[in-house]
Structure 1
């Protein structure tokens, strides 16, 4: 057992709180719903990037490479100034949704390089230009560009040319749960001497301005280069700053308070504000900092002049205990934690190829997953009504966004999709996050899934919260799938001992969620579902979460398929629980029956309804029902028609033999409902007994669907399965109405429409979560059919592979997005030569939200290791 595994055990047993401090700051608190108190709900304009340095936040804190305690009371992060910028670099810059030609986007260059699950060791890299940061140029150029143009990125400005930048490495190593060693290393990558100011900052989240009864914490200088932090709940901490030669760094104090004079023209009232350190350094305002060396925010000022190619390291220590010699043994302990991180990942990566590149990619993917934890705080009732010490919230708020979610109270560490572009949880994203997270910390993965079913998260009606912009929006119901997969992974880790307490608790809450879907989303009560948006943004002909321009409603292939998958996941959990408590046999039978009726509706139209399957095309389509009674198949070949693959489960005979009540109910249904019996296949293998296949696709339909999916002129690209068939490049689908024509065309890159903000595109790019489920489904079908079921891969090639081989080949295509090819190039880096060839760039990875359907170039959010982190699993599956 490695030392990191020991720490995980101690953390899980609560004998040592190793996760008390971690990377829990967000990268963007401004422009979020939580901080928006405007009458019109325009969150992007209520607090802007320019306002952020002067505005004390209500619900969270942001920073570069920052850490905090798990309640985000005490925060630490890095600030920088190159002597050129108009403001300190305290936070990451990016465009708002309205400023970007493809929606909101961070315009910085930074990488998460390493982290253990307890954050005993962490490392990240921020690349800071030596020239003036081009804030306005980025805004102007992206405003000039249309949706048909590519985004204008920081790299495109040329600011990194000739290596005129600083590489700033931020590293943490824990001596103990409350004792953190910090190492900040600044490299001058340029060919000339350059000056920079390094400003590590410590501050308290402002909790006192919103309630007059909350006491104010305090920071004060305790000795040269040392700060004493005192908090009424957190207690006492000390920040020790390494001296600059024989001279202590200058400590600059202010308050984490809003500068009302700058933002709103209010009287200053003699306070030292949040932007005091910025104003003192950048603008030379001597009175902006507190000369009495006390406040709620402090920076240690290190002024550096670095020769070309040289580096300098600054050491700090944040400790609950007083340290007489804070840097004694510092380097030795840091080295030990680095070695322990290496040992942990060496153990984890034993089944990977020995390739350094493969192992580096996987380790950085894990780093991105672990750095993307965030303290997420949102009390909807208080947000709707306003705080006691502040002015009341606008009356419009009480009937507006999230007003039906007054019960929701979030104050937890949650895995975020991307801490700049999506610094709020998304229910279906999080389900995918938990698969790679379970590989390094299964307890955290289980805790994440459990959170969303707690009474203060889940709506009383059974709905799971989607995301803060609209908690009532509908995401695909993948929580049950993730629960079952994480349970299996955790069970394997513990040598066959499954966490039945976790599984049972999740089962009961997910049964409520299943009932919500059945009662709310099956309008015609025919087991055909209309989930609305379902997380696929612009994939449909219409905005599926809004009233249709034609009137009527859409019966969704994906919504119905997700529900069939949900039913099978619930059945499988119930069967596992029934091994230990026979009462669950009845529940297993209930979900078995639910699946059969959904499958029947999709397979033959159930009670005579219009079928979602098109035999001529060999594909599933959505069906539009208009008020005049006309039913129209919306013949768009997209992943909407591939999602039926996901509803598949194989049940072995020994399970049925051990659960007689479930087997009796299943047998009765199949004998007395013969039209349902055809939905269950049975295959006898000599010496191994029988297996039963439950799936939406029988062999003939499966072959037809896979024939289309594996066609390189349609769905199959060099880098995985596209979200839409390439057929629609030359043959766009057009739906005519009297008012307008609605067109869907293959768009392999960034979105060309503004639907759902236009910041992501499902009309052609490659998305990891869907590809992952396709691969997993192929494995399940192979488990049933075995090596005798073969399909052409690619279609038309004449090469026949079994479904396990196809799954491995797809995993190989997907992982090739980020791995170096024979020429040493990574497709995800696109045509950018700096990323592809510069030794200070080429091995630092970004994990994009999605990838270009033809070239594999990374697009969308650049740090969405969240579900793109599924690559860590695919690296072990690739052929």
Structure 2
């Protein structure tokens, strides 16, 4: 493919040009994160609340409204808006903190990611800004008063958009060159009456100078006016060099410093200098001219543009950010460049969109990828520094040194990462990122591969081999899907351009061997090949919060943890056999994973046959896999029909006949195991070819008989099958909730109910719900596994 966007991607691959240096990497919420929490008790929401965000400097990042920044988050841009009614500028998206919402944290805004190319040479997003006063207090009150059985109250439910009294504010970014950014704000009055709007295109430097590192504070300064633009700002940045910012003719340009207004936040504190982060709020909204720097310089600057818009009228404000040399006429080629990049984005998506898709489906495909690309975020955290605090700042409580993430002092993150959501989840989760890499590979293979490899680097992965889960607890455990994702991306690239990037696959494989060993050593406590992984990304799916100790002495033997490990084995087996095509050393490693898979399969399916008190993850009466509770040697299945019992289906893999023919050493070992370990061989199905010769082999945790029984539940509309996919919890529990049968001291027995929408429990904050909704990533894996079964079982297999 030879579109201009493809050429830019190739220039990245060959390291000719850094087209990814700038992008929509600005977080949409930095407040309320673990990174900004320095409290003794780990109260991230309370330590840095929303109402402090406009006046308090962030330590580890920045946020803004549909903004952009460089790939180190040093120079940021985001629009600020004011409708003349609000008590503050709209600088960031508003939402409820975890304890404020009846279903946990929740953004209460209306905004949309519209378009983006993978190099962010062209991006569009839309924010709907009410013309009435934004109902901050009302949203807090009504959601606080609502019970867990009631739905969330969202912004549109307040009537704020009635009569279309809002502005559509479209943010458009385009790249004239690697370090030359075009910014266009397009505001349209959708209401029936004239309405006044202030737009403040705001440029600010992340505060890197208040933390005792002697980093200089970069300051923008207003330059002499020229006929070619309304305002020209310039700055010498310690890392990015010469920076020039141009704007259309503003009413004025405001300057301040991106530093905390300590006097307004902490009783008795004073400000070292008078110009602080909330200056523009105090000046524009409150009329306090003393808040801004009359010397027209600072680390935060904004042009002020004010206009009354007639109904249906659109108003455009332009800006341009450029490194290195200044421009004599920054807006002379602006419109032409913007339209060129828009046309190039059209050409790129026309080239990559599957042809069978209709016009509506093509738009969905493009906007879905825009959502993925807009969800990149610069993420910064040095855990050792975070634990001990900064020179010149208050010393954090000593309890933190043995508290949250204290075992992760090696971890240093300073990269652009694909986030689950830049407001509700503005922190990575290891398995989420692995899933994200698959759709991202459709548009940017190099970035997708980089995301997989990043979490395996020594400044992420623990020295013991554990992959960090997420900032609330890096020691929690996500399902080990990195090998699956790496292999899928490897095959996607081979299919799209014929390249087999073995160096990528080999590098990932070696690091994942460390992770596999960590799982075996840490999560198979009894050495039975039955694993305990904790919550494993399924949040509130269990009877108990699986990320915490049980409220009594005991442990949970997890069907899903054991199944994920079976899938991990097969993925590593397939990678080893792929690498063995060019290096026979990997055949021995493939044999290791083959045998380990058989041990896991045998443990899952035949444990009771070994005299282990009848213990089995498979429940013969129900035809389903359950977690098993072990209390002092007494074992009982926890009979919740959930995705936990479907994960065993994912442990399937096919070894091609051609692979067996070229891997003679592996084939000999496999045949020996079949001949000498018949109890293990029952977990393997043989698929003969049409000509009677040896065909591919299906390895599966679940045999044909059990597959049929599980699928009777899966394909039942009264259980798992919904119009939109497979539910995470069987609908059977609507009428038959699971109630824990053993008595608990001073505690109501926990129960699991079918909850198809918002969660009614506060496990994991109540924001996510695995007790009914359809989760696409695991549905994708299920479909993938069923396709492999179909290849083996053929059309004759019926349920």
TM-score (norm 2): 0.97
Residue matched to 1:174? 175
Separation in 2, partners of 1:378, 1:49: 20
CA shift, 1:328, in A, is 1.0
Post-superposition offset of 1:749:
1.1
Over residues 603-622 of structure 1, what are the superposed CA-to-partner deviations in whole Å (9 max), with x where a residue is unaligned?
A: 21174441111222111111
Deviates more, 1:756-765 or 1:734-743: 734-743
Cα deviation per residue 1:579-626 (whole Å; 9 max; x = unaligned)? 111100000000000000000111211744411112221111111111
Note if 1:637 corresponds to 2:645. Answer: no
- Could you say what secondary structure the match of 1:447 adopts? helix
List aligned pairs for 1:318-467, cutoff 5 A.
318-320=321-323, 321-354=325-358, 356-467=359-470
Secondary structure at the residue paired with 2:182? Answer: strand
| Equivalent residues in 2 for 1:413-812, closer than 5 Å | 413-495=416-498, 497-605=499-607, 607-609=610-612, 610-627=615-632, 629-687=633-691, 690-739=695-744, 740-791=748-799
Deviation at 1:681, TM superposition (A): 1.0
Query: Are residue 150 (structure 1) and residue 127 (structure 2) matched?
Result: no
Measure how far apart 1:689 and its partner are. Answer: 5.1
What SS does the aligned partner of 1:440 have? Answer: coil
Q: How far apart, CA to CA, are the structure 1 residues paired with 2:9 and 2:660?
A: 37
State the distance in 2 between where 1:359 and 1:223 align. 48
How far is 1:369 from its partner?
0.4
Asked whether the equivalents of residues 72 and 375 of structure 1 are also in contact (C-alpha less than 8 Å), the reply is yes
Calculate the aligned-residue CA RMSD, in Å: 1.2
* Structure-1 separation of matches of 2:318 and 2:541: 50
Cα shift at 1:387: 1.3
Q: Give the direction of change, closer, same or farther, for the CA distance of 1:352–1:376 in structure 2 (3 Å limit).
A: farther
1:28-39 paired onto structure 2 within 5 Å:
28-39=29-40
Distance in 2 between residues matched to 1:509 and 1:165, nearest whole Å? 51
TM-score normalised to structure 1 length: 0.88
| Gap runs ≥5 in structure 1 | 792-879
SS at match of 1:133: coil
Query: Structure 1 residues 268, 652: closer, same or farther in 2, change over 3 A?
Result: closer
Contact between 1:255 and 1:273, CA under 8 Å: does it hold in 2?
Answer: yes
State the match for 2:162 in structure 1.
161
CA distance in 2, matches of 1:466, 1:520: 15
Say if 2:239 is the partner of 1:236. no
Quote how far apart the aligned CAs of 1:212 are: 4.9
- Matched with 1:875 is none
Contact kept, 8 Å, 1:212 with 1:389, in 2: the verdict is no
- Aligned partner of 1:818 in structure 2 is none
Correspondence 1:167-246 to 2 at 5 A: 167-224=168-225, 225-243=231-249
- Deviations 1:642-693 (CA, angstroms, capped at 9, x unpaired): 0001010011111011011111111111110011112111111224850100
Kindly report which structure 2 residues correspond to 1:51-70, keeping only aligned pairs within 5 A, or say none: 51-70=52-71
* Aligned mates of 1:545, 1:268 — CA distance in 2: 42
SS in 1 for 2:66: strand
Counterpart selection for 2:318 from 303, 315, 319: 315
**Contact 1:257–1:274, Cα closer than 8 Å, also in 2:** yes
Shift of 1:737: 2.6
Per-residue CA deviation, residues 833-877 of structure 1 (Å, 9 max, x unaligned), is: xxxxxxxxxxxxxxxxxxxxxxxxxxxxxxxxxxxxxxxxxxxxx
| Cα separation, 1, equivalents of 2:441 and 2:794 | 28
Tell me whether 424-433 or 697-706 shows the greater mean CA deviation. 697-706
Residue 25 of structure 1 contacts residue 68 of structure 1 at CA under 8 Å; is this kept in 2?
yes
Distance of 1:790 and 1:23 partners within structure 2: 49
Aligned mates of 1:750, 1:104 — CA distance in 2: 12
Aligned residues: 784
Whether the aligned pair in 2 keeps the contact of 1:352 and 1:359 (CA below 8 Å) is no
Structure 1 stretches of 4+ moved >4 Å: none
- Equivalents in 2 of 1:541, 1:383: separation in Å? 34
Q: Distance in 2 between matches of 1:447 and 1:389?
A: 36
Give the Cα–Cα distance (whole angstroms) in 1 for the partners of residues 518 and 418 of structure 2: 25
Question: Partners in 2 of 1:179 and 1:212 — Cα distance?
Answer: 29
With over 3 angstroms needed to count, the CA separation of the structure-2 counterparts of 1:458 and 1:269, relative to structure 1, is: closer
Residue by residue over 1:187-238, the C-alpha shift from the partner in whole angstroms, topping out at 9 and shown as x without a partner, is 0000000001000000111101112521111100013311112211110111
Partner Cα distance (1:52, 1:370) in 2: 25
- Structure 1 partner of 2:228: none
Give 1:477 deviation, angstroms. Answer: 1.0
In the TM superposition, 1:840-855 aligns within 5 A as none
Q: Deviations over 1:332-372 (max 9, x none)?
A: 11111111111111111133422x22111111110010001
Deviation at 1:786, TM superposition (A): 2.9
Describe the shift of the 1:268–1:683 C-alpha distance in structure 2 as closer, same or farther (beyond 3 A): closer
CA displacement, residues 710-764 of structure 1 (integer Å, 9 cap, x when unaligned): 1001000111111111111111111123233221111111111111111111111
Provide Cα deviations, 1:462-519, integer angstroms capped at 9, x if missing partner: 1000000101011111111111111111222221x21111111111110111111111
Task: Report if aligned partners of 1:650, 1:783 keep a CA contact under 8 Å in 2.
Answer: no
Matched with 2:91 is 90
Distance 2:547 2:321 in 1: 48
Judge conservation of contact 1:537–1:761 (CA < 8 Å) in 2: yes
How many angstroms apart in 1 are the aligned matches of 2:74 and 2:740?
Answer: 54
Secondary structure of 2:57 counterpart:
coil
* 1: CA distance, partners of 2:429 / 2:610: 36
In 2, distance between residues paired with 1:547 and 1:218?
50
